[in-house]
Amino acid sequence: MPLTRPMRPVCLLLNFALLTAPLAHAQYGPAGGATPAAPTVRVATPTRGDVHRFVAQPGTVRPLQQATLYAKVPGYIRAIKVDKGDAVKPGQLLAELDAPELEADLLRARGEVTKARSDAARAQADIAKAQADVARSQADIAHASALAHKAEAELFAAKATAARAQAELPKAQAELELATLDHTRLLEGRRKAPDLVVPAQVDAAKAKLDTARAQIGVLKAAAEAAGADAEAAKARRAAAQASVKAAAAQAEATQASLEAARAVAGAAQATVTVAEANVKRTESLADFTRLTAPFEGVVTARFVDLGAFVPAATSGNAAQNAAVVTLMNFNTVRVQVPMTELEAAFVAKGQPVKVALDGLPGKIFEGTVTRYSGALDEATRTMLVEAELPNPGHTLRPGMYATVRVGVEKHTNVMLVPSEALVMEKTAAFLFLADGGKAKKTPVKIGFNDGAKVEVVSGLAETAKVILVGKLALTDGQAVNVQEGK
């Protein structure tokens, strides 16, 4: 009769048992005696070395350098030299802007510099003229002072001459009186006794009297002449002193003119400085119409096309509207990983870092901790850690998701076994040792495990033969064929 629906599974199981029985007989032999073949295993001897405790955290690949370039001045895109994916060198021209108003400003600023320099040169000429006038006034003062000193000396000499003549007049007067008396006495004696007083004596007395009278006249004339000279010297002194005062007044006026010229020159030079600064500022703004690469890298974004208007990027302007291109340098990349608060205190520069990426399965990139922020983010309670990795072929792309393992602690000169030898049962750790052709299950206490080697703290002799279990399913006391491993 036909099979009912509930009986079909039972029949299928019976058929499966009948089909697999010969296979079991062929594998294990007759029931009641045969044993499975002993597996071949590799063994290794424990070694001593260093091992790290690695902490795994999600991370992100970032470029070493990144910059979005903006337009400093408004204008229209005259030329765009690059596009997304283009490699550029430092200083390479990326884009040019057309800003005619800026060019006009530059011409006007240069004209103002020319005018200001001309004014400054004219002011310097005025200074030179004023200095010459001051020098001439000083010379006039010196000349007038010399004339005054000369007149003063002449006055002194004339007064001395008059004084000397006045001093000699009494003597000459006395001599005149004596000569008059002698002449009168001789005349009287000649008249009374002509034989005793000869005419020669009378003539001699008369000559002496005339000489005395002449001396008196000379002295009086000298005194009068000296007085006249003194009056003339006084007049010349007064004139010289007046000339000195006039020259001094002229010197003060020329000095004031000099100071005024210097002030004008200072103002003119300040105007030159301001004009030159305006030219430099305008030239700097004109330079911003040429956008060049600040560093070597790859253009990863382009925001404008030929002829597009780009506003100036200012603090009050939406920056994205003024963006032209984004440039990244990822010849070396930064792998950034947020380290949790529990592990942040262990982070130090130079610690080993291993990076695995979902986009590059099977590849591990190794480096060291390059830097860390030193402070925790208050929002996430994590500390940013960076590792720089060389990226010559641009295999690592900015923005890639990464699993980052950081070796935050290190034990040195400890007993190590390969990680593939470790067997974990819940929280208990075991190793299988090759002992007399059998696998001996041995409990051990482990320390750090870096994924390649495991630290054994206790429970293992350094001469033991440790079976590299791998994916084998061994049991305690199972027979094995030993193959020496590394």
**pLDDT (tens digit, 9 = 90+) per residue, 56-76?**
999 999 999 999 999 888 889
Dihedral in degrees, nearest 10, Cα atoms 56, 407, 371, 365: -70
| Same domain (yes/no): 110, 249 | yes
Q: Summarize pLDDT for 280-304 with one digit per residue, the tens.
A: 888 888 888 899 999 999 999 999 9
| Same domain (yes/no): 452, 340 | yes
Tokens of 186: 């001789």
State how far the alpha carbon of 420 is from the alpha carbons of 216, 294, 361, 466, 471, in Å: 153, 50, 20, 10, 8
Q: Give the residue from 244, 266, 250, 262 showing the smallest Cα distance to 134.
A: 250
Would residue 377 count as lying in a domain? Answer: yes
The reported pLDDT for the residue numbered 206 is 81
Query: Which residue in this structure is represented by tokens 């009297």?
Result: 209
Q: What is the mean pLDDT of residues 204-225?
A: 85
Q: Does 220 have pLDDT greater than 90? A: no
φ, ψ for residue 139, nearest 5 deg = -65, -40
Tokens of 302: 């382009």
Would residue 430 count as lying in a domain? Answer: yes
Q: Does 183 have pLDDT greater than 60? A: yes
The reported pLDDT for the residue numbered 318 is 53
Would residue 32 count as lying in a domain? Answer: no
Name the 3-class secondary structure at 429: strand
Q: Please answer whether residues 407 and 420 qualify as being in contact, where contact means their C-beta atoms are separated by less than 8 angstroms.
A: no
Name the 3-class secondary structure at 334: strand
Give the dihedral sign, CA 105/110/115/120. positive
Q: Please answer whether residues 454 and 436 qualify as being in contact, where contact means their C-beta atoms are separated by less than 8 angstroms.
A: no
Which residue, 285, 319, 353, sits at the end of a domain? 285
Which residue, 285, 315, 337, sits at the end of a domain? 285
Q: What is the mean pLDDT of residues 231-260?
A: 87
Q: What is the mean pLDDT of residues 318-327?
A: 80
| Same domain (yes/no): 249, 318 | no
Name beta bridge partners: 56. 405
Q: Give the residue from 132, 127, 219, 118 showing the smallest Cα distance to 175.
A: 219
Dihedral in degrees, nearest 10, Cα atoms 417, 419, 420, 422: 80
Would residue 48 count as lying in a domain? Answer: yes
Instruction: Output the domain CATH number for residue 71.
Output: 2.40.30.170
Query: Which residue in this structure is represented by tokens 């695995």?
Result: 356
DSSP E strands in 71-130: the ranges are 75-80, 87-88, 93-98
Task: Compute the distance between CA of residue 220 and CA of residue 229 in angstroms, rounded to an integer.
Answer: 14
φ, ψ for residue 350, nearest 5 deg = 90, -5
| Same domain (yes/no): 223, 331 | no
Would residue 34 count as lying in a domain? Answer: no
| Same domain (yes/no): 440, 329 | yes
| Same domain (yes/no): 281, 322 | no
For residue 23, the surrounding DSSP H or E stretch is helix 8-28
| Same domain (yes/no): 382, 477 | yes
| Same domain (yes/no): 279, 326 | no
In which domain, by residue range, is 48 found?
Answer: 40-90+307-484
Confidence of residue 3 (pLDDT cuts 50, 70, 90): very low
Q: 10 Å Cβ neighbour count for 349?
A: 10
Query: Which residue in this structure is represented by tokens 């590849």?
Result: 363
Would residue 18 count as lying in a domain? Answer: no
Residues 6 or more apart from 470 whose CB is under 8 A from it? 420
Q: Please answer whether residues 102 and 285 qualify as being in contact, where contact means their C-beta atoms are separated by less than 8 angstroms.
A: yes
Name beta bridge partners: 329. 65
Confidence of residue 470 (pLDDT cuts 50, 70, 90): confident
Q: Summarize pLDDT for 46-59 with one digit per residue, the tens.
A: 999 999 999 999 99
Q: Does 5 have pLDDT greater than 50? A: no
For residue 180, the surrounding DSSP H or E stretch is helix 100-192
| Same domain (yes/no): 392, 470 | yes
Per the structure, the count of domains in the chain is 2
| Same domain (yes/no): 189, 252 | yes
Angle between helices 199-287 and 100-192 (to 10 degrees): 170
Task: Compute the distance between CA of residue 444 and CA of residue 69 in angstroms, rounded to an integer.
Answer: 60
Q: 10 Å Cβ neighbour count for 16?
A: 10
Would residue 30 count as lying in a domain? Answer: no
Which residue, 226, 251, 285, sits at the end of a domain? 285
| Same domain (yes/no): 314, 401 | yes
**pTM (two decimals):** 0.59
The reported pLDDT for the residue numbered 353 is 96
Tokens of 273: 């400085």
Q: Please answer whether residues 53 and 335 qualify as being in contact, where contact means their C-beta atoms are separated by less than 8 angstroms.
A: no
Q: What is the DSSP letter of 6?
A: G
| Same domain (yes/no): 355, 234 | no
Q: Summarize pLDDT for 436-448 with one digit per residue, the tens.
A: 899 999 999 999 9
Q: Does 267 have pLDDT greater than 70? A: yes
Instruction: Output the domain CATH number for residue 130.
Output: 1.10.287
Q: Please answer whether residues 370 and 349 qualify as being in contact, where contact means their C-beta atoms are separated by less than 8 angstroms.
A: yes
Q: Does 31 have pLDDT greater than 60? A: no
Q: What is the mean pLDDT of residues 406-422?
A: 94
| Range with top average pLDDT, 10-14, 109-113, 162-166, 198-202 | 109-113
Better pLDDT: 21 or 298: 298
Q: Does 93 have pLDDT greater than 70? A: yes
Q: Please answer whether residues 407 and 53 qualify as being in contact, where contact means their C-beta atoms are separated by less than 8 angstroms.
A: yes
Would residue 301 count as lying in a domain? Answer: no
Q: Give the residue from 358, 410, 364, 355 showing the smallest Cα distance to 385.
A: 355
Task: Compute the distance between CA of residue 362 and CA of residue 357 in angstroms, rounded to an integer.
Answer: 8
DSSP E strands in 323-400: the ranges are 323-340, 352-357, 360-368, 371-372, 382-390
Tokens of 274: 């301001």
